Amino acid sequence: METEASLPRLGITLGDFNGIGPEVVIKTLQENRLNRFCVPVIYGSSKVLARYKKLLNIDNFQYQQVNDDGRLHERRINLVNCWDDAHEVNPGQVTPEAGRAARLALEKSSEDLRKGLIHAVVTAPINKHNIQGEEFPYPGHTEYYAAAFGKTDSLMLLVSERMRLGTITGHVPLGQVPGLLTRELVAKKLDLLMASLQQDFAVKKPRVAVLGLNPHAGEDGLLGDEEMAVIGPVVEQYRQKGHLVFGPFPADGFFGLHHYQKYDAVLATYHDQGLIPFKMISFEEGVNFTAGLPIVRTSPDHGTAYDIAGQGVADESSFRAAIFQALAILKNRALYAERRPKREGKTPAPELKPTEAEQALRGLQ
């Protein structure tokens, strides 16, 4: 793909087309101001977009289909057709066709990311059931992108203006969490979180809070020993190395007393421990970012919401935030790469210099 100028190229997947993904994409991209900062590239289908334009009674949403020459059009929304248009759009219904289409959009966007044809991707929600199969054996987006880009470790990081929150364990049954919680895993997730805060969010000296697993953080072993045997020793190791890592904290009091406001990020031990308070605090503006990957991928912090699909009532705020967060992370990574040789006392190498597209992001803030 080529563009007429050097704005960053942002891939956008439609997700499950029977959910609210197409609606929040269309509503977000109606804002012409986004074209000042990026070249949107939708991975989906013209039939799906046309169907939702009609359902939502939206006329002022125009796009340019990407032809075989692969040329993108700046100042316009671009569409890459990822499947044939024989699939029927049935808002609110779970169908295998919608799952297959969501997978094809992910695969095509990943291919273009690897080739450098787009610089980042924002993913609309998928259904973890109808997308599952031999070609997609992953619990969700986070695990898919980690495998697609050859990473055994990644971190699901929820981001908003009020809080950044990562999870040590991800999409696993709650009963498996204690067995998965090891010192090695806690250290890996802390490493990913600290590195991401510095590289992706421009936090020079991160302050990180780590939550305990058990009620009252184990109550000195009375309610469980994971804090004393696993989490606490890792936190102490980081403290001894000069890192500003604190905990383990009892989760209820930590959030109830708004202590998260004192830290650059929070590391929860399992999915719901972190995501329930995060979504209560930041649901309409929250963004899901996959940290630890060589590429930038964000998404809104909500699901397919079949119950309101196609009704015109879906809130696009989180999806809009995901777009701007992806662009901000691209900018921060470019600036971090520029500063890296100076920090290491080396002569800047050509591969560390930001691309023209990344340089264009400096006008974002």
The answer to whether 47 touches 158, Cβ cutoff 8 Å, is no
For range 271-282, the mean pLDDT:
96
CA–CA dist 167, 328 (Å, integer):
22
Mind listing the pLDDT tens digit for each residue in 329-364?
A: 999 999 999 887 665 555 443 333 444 444 444 444
d(CA 292, CA 153): 7
Cβ contact 364:331 at 8 Å: yes
Question: Which pLDDT belongs to residue 60?
Answer: 87
On whether the pTM is more than 0.95, the answer is no
Average pLDDT value for residue range 35-55: 94
Among 99-103, 130-134, 356-360, whose mean pLDDT is lowest? 356-360
Q: Tell me, what's the pLDDT at 107?
A: 95
> Please, where in the chain does CATH 3.40.718.10 lie?
1-151+293-365, 152-287
Query: Cβ-count burial of 7 within 10 angstroms (0-12 exposed, 13-18 middle, 19+ buried)?
Result: buried
Maximum alpha-carbon separation in the chain: 66
pLDDT at 355: 42
- The fold for domain 152-287 equals Isopropylmalate Dehydrogenase (3.40.718)
pLDDT of res. 351: 38
CB 283 within 8 A of CB 318: yes
Mean pLDDT of the chain: 90
The answer, yes or no, to whether residue 2 has pLDDT greater than 80, is no
Q: Residue 211's beta-bridge partner residues?
A: 249
Tell me what the mean pLDDT of segment 198-225 comes to: 96
Report the CATH architecture of 1-151+293-365: 3-Layer(aba) Sandwich (3.40)
Residue 327 in contact with residue 361, Cβ under 8 Å?
Answer: yes
- The whole-number average pLDDT for the span 224-246 is 97
User: pLDDT value at position 352?
Assistant: 33
Q: With beta carbons less than 8 A apart as the criterion, state whether 120 and 330 touch.
A: yes
